[in-house]
Structure 1
Amino acid sequence: MSVAQSERAGLVTTMRGVGPDHPTLCGEWTTRDLAAHLVIRERRIDAAPGILIPKLAGYTERVQNQVAAENDWNVLLDQIASGPPTLSPFKLLDPLINVGEMFIHHEDVRRAASGWEPRDLDDATTAAIARQVPLMGRMTMSKTPFSVVLRTPEGKTLANFGRGPSVTVTGEPAELLLFVSGRDQVRVTFSGDDDAVRAVREGRAGL
């Protein structure tokens, strides 16, 4: 089982456990809304582009609301659990592009509840997540007017981009991935000028 498949299975198990009305870290979305998002991302090619393209977001939102309202909760979860359909472009790319997606949304459900703690991840999962950090960081923090260093507690630099005063964000790869994706429920520390740190924290585009 790939890391993406393992995280997908864990996400579905967690969602089944909390039910369709549980909050998430995705704004006002409940777990039902999040499930609908994941379904249209892999199964509605007509609506998926609006996830990333603002001009198409209105149509995507309407389709997502429809999918959430018209499908039984267990049907939505079964569709997520089964993975991308055979003809979906996500099918072959699943091990590459769904590691971050499934991990982040798994934590979106877990960390929306009080008392959450980071999971103990195996080496393969940690390594796969670490590979996602540089790309995600550049996608969400490219406009930050500072030099941002993303570093593990052991001192390994996972990403270093931007110019100007330097801000170092230190945390485990999973925490760094969640941070650059716009989540605040993370265990990271910051080193740098206070104003620069504030700008980096507030300047994430979020996904």
Structure 2
Amino acid sequence: MTIWDDIATERLGIAEVLEGLTEAQWQTPSLCGKWTVRELAGHLVVPFHTSIPNFAVAMVKARGSFHRANDSLARAQSRRPTADLIADLRANANHHFTPPRQGPLAPLTDALVHGQDLRIPLGINDPRDPDKWQQSLDFLVTPAARAGFTRAELPPVEFVATDLDWHFGEGPQVSGPAYAIALALTTRAASLERLSGTGIDDLTRWMG
């Protein structure tokens, strides 16, 4: 299995989750900012329809703000019929988009984290092997992940995964499942109730 195979698997898994939702569930707030499940689905298909020049135009319209440009493009896609969004994810499961200078670990991490952004608030169990998170955790603590995934400075704690042989950082310890550590590194407050240790207060302050 290659990283691209893993990315395709995640996209298809998200499509399967979306296919089983009611219209009300599509309006559920996700863990990702102010986006609903529908708007997050819109975000997931943006790379299939937005070239680098087109994103640059969106950045200009957003007065240089990456987050505003990203939000605008996601909301535009989210207005499409739900069946179209699901079909788009499936048709483009093997799409090889990567953000500039980040490589395939970026779309893998994006799909893994956003999969939890959907599943957790919907109460959908994720039965997958924790090993799926190993590469993404390694990516999230690199400088490359500071663009769009995490903050310029990592939290002053030592993360220890309880379901993987993985740890990183220095300081008071924060432990928990690999997916929760990934959510913490991407500043999802919902991760805090899934983690424990003497570094929780430091992690909470870092999240702001």
Instruction: Give the TM-score, by structure 1 length.
Output: 0.72
Instruction: Tell me if the contact between 2:113 and 2:183 (Cα under 8 Å) persists in the aligned partners.
Output: yes
Superposed displacement of residue 55, structure 1: 2.2
CA contact (8 A) 1:25 1:183 kept: yes
**1:106 and 1:57 mapped to 2: Cα distance?**
20
Contact 1:182 1:204 in 2 (8 A): yes
Q: How does 1:160-199 map to 2 (within 5 A)?
A: 160=169, 166-186=171-191, 187-192=194-199, 197-199=200-202
CA RMSD in angstroms, aligned pairs only: 3.4
Alignment partner, residue 63 of structure 1: 73
CA distance in 2, matches of 1:5, 1:94: 15
Alignment match of 2:109 (pick from 93, 100, 114): 100
Superposed displacement of residue 151, structure 1:
0.9
Partner secondary structure for residue 112 of structure 1: helix
Q: Is the 8 A contact 2:161 2:177 kept in 1?
A: yes
Instruction: Give the aligned residue type for 1:26.
Output: C
Distance 1:87 1:157 in 2: 28
Q: Is the 8 A contact 1:133 1:159 kept in 2?
A: no
Identity, % of aligned positions: 17
Contact between 1:148 and 1:168, CA under 8 Å: does it hold in 2?
yes
Q: Deviations over 1:105-146 (max 9, x none)?
A: 1111111135x55x33326524334433423897325436x6
Q: Secondary structure at the match of 1:150?
A: strand
5+ long unaligned stretches in structure 1? none
Q: Distance in 1 between matches of 2:96 and 2:33?
A: 31
Aligned residue for 1:131?
A: 138
Deviation at 1:174, TM superposition (A): 1.6
Tell me, in whole angstroms, the C-alpha distance in 2 between the residues paired with 1:77 and 1:136: 33
By how many angstroms is 1:25 displaced? 1.1
What is the total number of aligned residue pairs between the two structures? 189
Cα distance in 1 for residues equivalent to 2:198 and 2:6: 31
SS at 1:185 equivalent = helix
Mean Cα displacement is larger for which, 9-18 or 121-130?
Answer: 121-130
The answer (yes or no) to whether the contact 1:167–1:191 under 8 Å persists in 2 is yes
Q: Which amino acid letter does the alignment assign opposite residue 73 of structure 1?
A: T
- Structure 2 distance, partners of 1:57, 1:178, is 18
CA distance in structure 1 between the partners assigned to 2:33 and 2:137 by the alignment: 25
Residues 198/141 of structure 1: CA separation in 2 closer, same or farther (3 Å cut)? farther
Out of 13, 27, 34, the residue aligned to residue 21 of structure 1 is 27
1:4 aligned onto 2:7: yes
Q: Deviating runs (4+, > 4 A) in structure 1?
A: 84-90, 154-157
- Structure 2: state its 5+ residue gaps: none
Q: Could you tell me how far 1:157 is from its partner in structure 2?
A: 4.6
Alpha-carbon distance change, 61 to 142 in structure 1, aligned in 2, over 3 angstroms? closer
1:14-163 aligned within 5 A? 14-19=17-22, 20-45=26-51, 46-47=54-55, 50=59, 55-69=65-79, 71-83=80-92, 88-89=97-98, 95-114=104-123, 117=125, 119-122=126-129, 124-135=131-142, 139=146, 140-143=150-153, 147-153=156-162, 156-160=165-169
